[in-house]
Chain A
Amino acid sequence: MAEDLVLDTAIRDWVLIPLSVVMVLIGILRYFVSKLMRSSSTPDAKMVKEGQVVLRARNLRVAANFIPLKSFRVRKAYFTNEEDGLLHVPKGTAAPNPQAQMLSDPNMAMDMMKKNLSMIIPQTLTFAWVNFFFSGFVAAKIPFPLTQRFRSMLQNGIDLSTVDVSYVSSRSWYFLNLFGLRGLFSLILGEENATDDTQKMMQMSGFGMDATKTLGAEKDGLDIIQHDWVLPKFEKRAERVLRKLVA
């Protein structure tokens, strides 16, 4: 079955290669467009401070055993006391939820829209283009066999159960390119600049993360921590080290 499907070399020259090239070019173009539209936002002092507080509290939680008990207690009180501890968030004044914040701040909404536009518009356009010109035929064959499960991934747009799964339909080739070109982009555009769709999507869903929640979580973490000073153990360890050194 697998042997009897011969792909025209014209498909390679006119579908497979152009499709890949177009995807790469669009990726690069999108990078520059988004760079043009990017507006630098100045972080606001409260947010920076909250981030730093969380960082410092995390340091305290992780390395608590390296400082004497008295010093630890002082710091813990500084972070978690109920009146004005840094991690304590008064109940009534919880930060307004980001959705509402977005509505009140048109700049924020604008930023979001710019990001989305630079992502969605080229994607819909290329998808329409691929769908219109190249839909419904096999464009490539991968050199190893795969199980039936991969059919929906590799043969999108072809509803034939008899075709071997190692054949890739043109529309699937588009998707593979869309998600698989990140490594190439990081090579072309430099490490940090790679336009990463999957990551962007994650950011989108994670948007609206509540700063007060992280503060609260950090506070709980600090509250339950047991202080067990490790330094006394170090005297024994130092003895061992020195004995080895002297011997």
Chain B
Amino acid sequence: MVGATEEVELNRLENQVDNGGGGDWEYLCLVRKLKVRRSDKVLKHGLSILNDSKKRSKLGGEEWTLYEQVAIAAMDCQRTDIAMDCVKVLQKKFPESLRVGRLEGMLVEAKGSYEDADNIYEGLLEDNPLDQVIHKRRIAMSKAQGNISEAITRLNKYLEIFMADHDAWRELAEIYVSLQMYKQAAFCYEELILCQPTVPLYHLAYADVLYTIGGLENLQNAKKYYASTIDLTGGKNTRALYGICLSSSAIGQLTKGRNKEEKEGTELQSLAATALEKDYKKRSSNKLPLLTATLKNLKL
């Protein structure tokens, strides 16, 4: 995650670099540190350093890191010719390196020959069966080929060992949602909430999944998780506000004939509706009638 101050700093540096104000290397370092994806800029500025032998030699040992960074950025921009040059330089310098091997695999992958890339990765895995990056690359490859079921099997196999890797859990959750396998997705989101209980996005996604599954208990739980999202975001998340309204209305429909005891917490949904109206009034008043009509339909 990129913090707000870091992002400001990053954008400031990017601006400065774009206008030729220097600080290229600092910018590239920051991009690498924050793991943001700005491949076009990295490619442009990284390449200008690499092509200038004076600047390049000033980096010392860091030169090779830059080659790697530029190679990956070039692959991302479909400039496989540049990536190939970088990888070749690195291969010459580190002939036996696993890290360069990975790059080689990624290069083949970027060219679209997935089978060859898979072979390369498999060869690398024989020596280092626990390399997380390679496992993830293979998962991403099956996904890119449209072979979702294989991606799921591989992800599950990966998670059997690296079960504390929340990024993998997130990926799996999103795949399950895309396949409408909501029960499995709910499990993954629970895992994510366990990992980082204060990230509102996971609460929101979990609530969405529960709401989609349906049933009284799930709807009630969904409402609770929408509520926690509201609490964690300070009421600024529009989706969570809508979620409260929708799940309350669904609960209302399910419990229509029953006694009044179960119809508690009506205040929350009316509050959510008011908050929504206020927000729309402030930010997009021309869509306000649409909102009021929708809320009316929900019979809150």
Q: Which residues of A contact B (CB under 8 A)?
A: 42-43, 45, 48-49, 52-53, 55-56, 59-60, 62-64, 66-68, 71, 231-232, 234-235, 237-239, 241-246
A63-B223 in contact (CB<8A): no
Nearest first, the 9 A-B pairs at minimum CB distance are A238-B227, A55-B164, A234-B228, A242-B271, A231-B224, A238-B230, A63-B197, A245-B235, A235-B227
B interface bracket (residues with beta carbon within 8 Å of A) = 35 or more
B194-A67 in contact (CB<8A): yes
Chain B interface secondary structure, helix, strand, loop or mixed?
A: helix
B160 nearest CB neighbor, chain A only? A49
Docked CA distance A56–B163 (Å): 7
Most chain A CB within a 10 A radius of its CB, from B197, B225, B272: B197
Which residues of chain A are near B163, meaning CB under 8 Å?
49, 52-53, 55-56
Docked CA distance A49–B278 (Å): 50
What is the CB-to-nearest-CB distance from B189 to chain A, in angstroms, rounded to a whole number?
9
B195-A59 in contact (CB<8A): yes
B128-A42 in contact (CB<8A): yes
Docked CA distance A62–B161 (Å): 21
Which residues of chain B are near A237, meaning CB under 8 Å?
227, 231
Which residues of chain A are near B108, meaning CB under 8 Å?
none
Which residues of chain A are near B226, meaning CB under 8 Å?
238
Docked CA distance A58–B130 (Å): 22
B278-A246 in contact (CB<8A): yes
B206 nearest CB neighbor, chain A only? A67
A67-B193 in contact (CB<8A): yes
Docked CA distance A53–B223 (Å): 31
Docked CA distance A231–B165 (Å): 25
Docked CA distance A42–B227 (Å): 46
B122 within 8 Å of A (CB atoms): no
B194-A60 in contact (CB<8A): yes
Tell whether A231 pairs with B221 under 8 Å between CB atoms, given A48-B161, A59-B164, A66-B194. Answer: yes
B271-A63 in contact (CB<8A): no
> Besides A71-B190, A242-B271, 19 other CB < 8 A contacts?
A43-B130, A45-B161, A48-B161, A52-B164, A52-B165, A59-B164, A67-B190, A232-B224, A234-B231, A237-B231, A238-B226, A238-B231, A239-B268, A242-B230, A242-B272, A242-B274, A243-B271, A245-B235, A246-B271
